[in-house]
Amino acid sequence: MLYLGEVSTGECLRMFDPKTPATIEEFGATDNGAWVGASDLPMIADVNDLLTYLDGRPKLSLIDLTVKLGDEELSTHDDAEAQLDFRNEGDALAFLRKAVDDSAIEEIIDCLCANMGRYVTERNGRIHIFESFDAYLLALRAGIK
């Protein structure tokens, strides 16, 4: 499992091939104040269809989404927290290499692999390791740099 904070649903979806099959498992949003659930969605067959739907609704406020993308699963909350479940570590590492535009990507990957089960962040070129998400939140409130 890979958790990406401060990453939008669209940013994650754009890391996948547009033709990747997409199966909506959960969907909840508001659009101009009206609730939109999974049963309200048009036929969505792939990543391109999902992006077209989301991008075409500027007033849509995505609350929860869980979508099966081929063999992977993406869950987002409040359109700013993304959790990806990969079938294996190799797929997760390939996704990271594609998603992170950073000269220190190998250092970040080494740190993630050495700290599985912990919450790892990179801010301003510095890697921070926390025992849990709650510990990260406490540090964030205290002003980690």
Per-residue pLDDT at 64:
94
Instruction: Read off the pLDDT of each residue in 108-114 and give the average, rounded to a whole number.
Output: 85
- List the single range of 95-104, 114-123, 130-139 with lowest mean pLDDT: 95-104
The DSSP element (H or E) to which 53 belongs, if any, is helix 47-55
pTM: 0.81
Q: What is the pLDDT of residues 51-101, one digit of tens each?
A: 999 999 999 999 999 999 999 999 998 877 788 899 888 888 888 888 776
Per-residue pLDDT at 116:
84
The two most distant CA atoms of the chain are separated, in Å, by: 45
What's the mean pLDDT when you consider all of the chain? Answer: 88
Per-residue pLDDT at 9:
92
- Which residues lie below 8 Å from residue 16, measured CB to CB, with a gap of 6+? 47, 69, 70, 72
Per-residue pLDDT at 35:
97
Percent of the chain with pLDDT over 90: 44
